């Protein structure tokens, strides 16, 4: 278990730093009112998790330490939106469209409410 946690921690650290660098780069060249850096990070993270899971599954490495490092660690550190995207993709693939749409709606709405509530409580 300690070994798995280390893989996740190292991957997460790398992903978090890359997220920061993505924001710095995007905001340096395309600063505007739209949160483009976060948007690019989320879309790129979803693309990366798709590629990485596909490669891991194709090479029978879906239950390896590489998965913990790349998927949970790196992609999770870069953006948890990639996991959210993959989970919804899986729900749709398993013919659970109603559950997927509910998950999407509740995540967005309750997430926004939680931000508002957190700000309200902190004041």
Question: Are 45 and 89 in a shared domain?
Answer: no
> For the segment 104-120, what is each residue's pLDDT rounded down to a tens digit?
999 999 999 998 999 99
Question: Are 62 and 87 in a shared domain?
Answer: no
Q: Is 77 known as a binding-site position?
A: no
Question: Are 91 and 103 in a shared domain?
Answer: yes
Domain of residue 20, residue span = 1-79
> For the segment 56-84, what is each residue's pLDDT rounded down to a tens digit?
999 998 889 999 999 999 999 999 898 89
Cβ-based neighbour number of residue 1 at 10 Å: 5
Distance between CA atoms of 40 and 4, rounded to whole angstroms? Answer: 29
Q: Which pLDDT does position 62 carry in this prediction?
A: 83
Single out the residue in 48, 63, 79 at which a domain terminates.
79
Question: Are 59 and 21 in a shared domain?
Answer: yes
Number of domains forming the structure of the chain? 2
Question: Are 9 and 62 in a shared domain?
Answer: yes
Q: Is 50 known as a binding-site position?
A: no
Region 48-63 average pLDDT = 91
DSSP 72: I
Packing angle, helices 2-30 and 36-58, rounded to 10: 140
- The model's pTM is 0.81
């Amino acid at each position: 278990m300690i070994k798995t946690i280390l893989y996740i921690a190292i991957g997460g650290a790398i992903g978090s730093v890359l997220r920061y660098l993505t924001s710095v780069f995007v905001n340096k060249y395309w600063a505007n009112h739209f949160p483009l850096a976060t948007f690019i990070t989320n879309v790129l993270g979803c693309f990366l998790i798709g590629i990485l899971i596909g490669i891991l599954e194709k090479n029978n490495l879906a239950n390896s330490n590489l998965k913990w490092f790349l998927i949970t660690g790196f992609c999770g550190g870069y953006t948890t939106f990639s996991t959210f995207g993959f989970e919804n993709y899986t729900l749709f693939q398993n013919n659970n469209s109603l559950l997927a749409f509910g998950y999407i709606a509740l995540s967005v709405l309750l997430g926004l409410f939680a931000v508002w509530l957190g700000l309200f409580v902190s004041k």
